[in-house]
Amino acid sequence: MGIKEEHRRLILFVVNLRSGNGRGERVWRTVENELNRRNITFAKIVGASSEEALRQAEDIIRNQPVRAVAAVGGDGTLHSILPLAIEYNLPIGVIPCGSGNDTALAFRLPKDPVAALDVLLAGDAQPADYMKTWRDDSDSHPSLISVAIGLDGAVAEDVNGSRYKKWCNRLGAGPLAYIIGLIRMLAVYRPQTMTITIDGVRREIPNAWLTAVANLPTYGGGLKICPDARSDDGLLHVCVVHDCTVLQLLRVFPTVLRGSHVRSRFVTMLSGQEVTVEAPEPLLAYGDGEPAGTTPLRAEIVPGQLLFLTSSG
Let me know whether 152 and 102 are in one domain.
no
pTM of the model as a whole? 0.89
Q: Which CATH number do you get for residue 85?
A: 3.40.50.10330
261 vs 217: CA distance, rounded Å = 13
Q: Are residues 101 and 201 in the same domain?
A: no
pLDDT tens, residue by residue, 135-151: 766 778 999 999 999 99
Q: Which of 30-34, 137-141, 161-165, 182-186 has the lowest mean pLDDT?
A: 161-165
The C-alpha atoms of residue 201 and residue 197 are separated, in whole angstroms, by: 5
Whether 65 and 118 share a structural domain: yes
In one-letter notation, the amino acid at residue 219 is: Y
Q: Is residue 192 part of a domain?
A: yes
Of 46, 40, 36, the residue nearest 15 (C-alpha): 46
Domain that holds residue 235: 132-304
- Our count of domains for the chain comes to 2
Query: In terms of pLDDT, which residue wins out, 20 or 218?
Result: 218
Say if CB 250 and CB 117 are below 8 A apart: no
Tell whether 313 is covered by a domain: no
